[in-house]
Amino acid sequence: MSAASVSGNVIRKYLPVYFVLIGIFLVEVFLSFRIAATSTLVVVLLLLAICSAGLGLMYFMHLAQERRSLFLTLIPATIFVLLMMNMFWGDSVRLLHLRSMGQ
């Protein structure tokens, strides 16, 4: 097999992932016009974004093909840090209520 034909195959190989990513994004756009409640919309969009990011991470960045030790070193710690940041949400809702009480 020539070098050129090998390098052409990778595009074909990842084309399904590409179309799934585009599809997920178009679903996000569609839902942003359909769902009026912001909190519901944010949750749904975040879940879809996590799916897209997971696909990008595993296939475009080839994390699925690396050793599991790399995945276990990087991803759980990152998720832990990002989840810990969510502690602020409660305070933001409190801020909203304080503002409405003050008016």
Partner 1 sequence: MSESEAAVHGHGDFLEESPYAIPSRKFTMWLFIISDAVTFGAFLMAYGYLRVGTPNWVRPFESNSVLNVIIMTVVLITSSLTMLGAVDAAKVGDKGKAMKFLFSTMALGAIFAALHLREWFELFGRGITIGSGLFGQTFFTITGLHLLHVISGVIALLVVAVKYSRGRLTPSHVETTGLYWHFVDLVWMFVVPLVYLTNIAH
Q: Contact positions toward partner 1, by CB under 8 A?
A: 3-4, 6-11, 14-15, 18, 21-22, 25-26, 28-29, 32-33, 36, 38, 41-42, 45-46, 48-49, 52-53, 56-57, 60-61, 66-67, 69-70, 73-74, 77-78, 81-82, 85-86, 88-89, 91-93, 95-96, 99-100
Which is it for the CA torsion 47, 51, 57, 58, positive or negative?
A: positive
Q: Determine phi and psi for 2, rounding to 5 degrees.
A: -75, 160
Q: Using CB atoms within 10 A of its CB, is residue 5 exposed (0-12), middle (13-18) or buried (19+)?
A: exposed
Residue 64 CB, nearest distance to partner 1 (Å)?
A: 13
Measured at the CA of 48, the angle between CA 47 and CA 50, to 5 degrees, comes to: 65
By beta-carbon proximity to partner 1, the closer residue of 56 and 64 is 56
Residue 48 CB, nearest distance to partner 1 (Å)?
A: 7
